[in-house]
Amino acid sequence: MGDLLDHLRAGLPDDAILTDPDVTASYANDMASFCEAGAPAVVVLPRTTAEVQHVMRTATALRIPVVPQGARTGLSGAANASEGCIVLSLTRMDRILEISPVDRVAVVEPGVVNAVLSRAVAERGLYYPPDPSSWEQCTIGGNIGTGSGGLCCVKYGVTAEYVLGLEVVLADGRLMRTGRRTAKGVAGYDLTRLFVGSEGSLGIVVEATLALKPAPPVQLALAAEFPSSAAACEAVCAIMAGGHVPSLLELMDATTVRAVNDLTHMGLPETTEALLLAAFDTHDPSADLRALGELCTAAGATQVVPAEDAVESELLLQARRMALPAMERVSTATMIDDVCVPRSALGAMIDGVAAIAEKYDLTIGVCAHAGDGNTHPVVSFDAADADESRRARESFDEIMALGLELGGTITGEHGVGVLKKEWLARELGPVGVEMQRGIKEVFDPLGILNPGKLF
């Protein structure tokens, strides 16, 4: 410990190094359940790239693991500390370095909060689409590390599609530039995409060049009630097959709707078995909503209610954003799954989760980015009850198995971390895991970057 602190202090200011055990313990975990975490030896909060390089050179010299962190809003344990590690918190690297309306790019440090960037570019008539539910807290670096998505993915895509270039500090402290800021570019291997979703296991992102879009028109939304999840999913399939491009297409099952009502008193229809929320940000959203409403009615919707203006639309969308906080109130703990399936299998996925909930006698609410098949089953359980905790973990595993059986993936946007390591191996297969480990070996031959994550 003495050698470590001496080395760190040689290149860092005193206020960048935290050693109080009560303070460092608060950096041990992200928001995931059932994920082991160790006690950090030290927490470092750099402000510059040079300071990050110093930390990595120190870690390499002393063979000490480094766990990079953002706001720790992740849900897979990817930011959990390893025993005796250096926690490298990047939250103080929070500058927006450039916003270019001509090139339609923003250049930012990793600690910039998603919502802060979104508001800053909006002031210039631009739009940064990725909007995770935790957008008011989560950082761009964390979004890149986990390959985050959000409510608008159905039209605008996920974080990976907006990362044009990166500056990355490698495990040995060298600085590498990947990608570009041009609209096109295919020179060499796409190392930028390799880092997106790598969960800090290949290098430390210290700067990102992000693509922006022109600000779209204000969106209008509607809510459609359905007598079953199957009927709602039939409507989703009809919407997508019909060539419609909503800016948002979200689904909440009855369990989630009731939990949101209990928390917010919004007065959502508790007679519904599934509530579908859709929005368009086109130049004539009312016409698009009418067409979508007709498809919902044809699929069996019992009521279709379009918002009259942007204020009503935002109220509807706020109900979806409150889904996770509402489910967290159901019991003392939650496990949030993140299984993405083909849209055509969405109904089977939701019905299968309901069967799993019944089998294990648990409350499991499902909200979904229905437009891209990304479901978030939320398992509520009493953490103090050993048997209920066991059943929660087993139900979580069955949900992931169901997703794979339906041709899906174990994670659409939350990442693998500690929580889904075994399931990643099942999804990739032995050859896939071997190739991924080979890539890790090239970038991190000593294995000091975020050890124990992914595989």
Q: Of 207, 209, 210, 208, give the one whose Cα is nearest residue 49.
A: 207
pLDDT at 11: 97
Segments making up each domain of the chain, as ranges? 2-89, 96-214, 220-405
Cα angle value 239/152/233 (rounded, 5°) = 35
pLDDT at 2: 85
220-405: which CATH number, 3.40.50.620, 1.10.3720.10, 2.60.40.10, 3.40.462.10?
A: 3.40.462.10
CATH number of 96-214: 3.30.465.10
Q: Assign domain 2-89 to its CATH architecture.
A: 2-Layer Sandwich (3.30)
Is 56 in contact with 173 (CB distance < 8 Å)? yes
pLDDT at 309: 92
> Strand locations in 34-184, DSSP E?
42-44, 66-69, 86-89, 96-100, 105-108, 126-127, 163-169, 175-179
pLDDT at 455: 87
pLDDT at 34: 87
Is 65 in contact with 59 (CB distance < 8 Å)? yes
Distance separating alpha carbons of residues 59 and 237, to the nearest angstrom: 51
pLDDT at 189: 96
The contacts of residue 364 (CB under 8 Å, 6+ apart) are 255, 353, 354, 356, 357, 377, 378, 379, 380, 395, 399
User: What is the identity of the amino acid at 432?
Assistant: G
Q: How many residues does the chain have?
A: 455
Beta strand 105-108 pairing with 204-211: antiparallel
- Can you name the residues that pair with 374 across neighbouring β-strands? 340, 369
Is 417 in contact with 78 (CB distance < 8 Å)? yes
Distance separating alpha carbons of residues 100 and 94, to the nearest angstrom: 18
Is 339 in contact with 349 (CB distance < 8 Å)? yes
**First vs last C-alpha separation in the chain:** 28
pLDDT at 260: 95
Cα angle value 201/205/211 (rounded, 5°) = 120
Q: Residue 208 has which token pair?
A: 């990102």
Model pTM score: 0.95
Q: Over its length of 455 residues, how does the chain's per-residue pLDDT go in tens digits?
A: 889 999 999 999 999 999 999 999 999 999 998 899 999 999 999 999 999 999 999 999 999 999 999 999 999 999 999 999 999 999 999 999 999 999 999 999 999 999 999 999 999 999 999 999 889 999 999 999 999 998 899 999 999 999 999 999 999 999 999 999 999 999 999 999 999 999 999 999 999 999 999 999 999 999 999 999 999 999 999 999 999 999 999 999 999 999 999 999 999 988 899 999 999 999 999 999 999 999 999 999 999 999 989 999 998 889 998 999 999 999 999 999 999 999 999 999 999 999 999 999 999 999 999 999 999 999 999 999 999 999 999 999 999 999 999 999 999 999 999 999 999 999 999 999 999 999 999 999 999 999 999 98
Strand, helix or coil at 182? coil
Distance separating alpha carbons of residues 3 and 24, to the nearest angstrom: 18
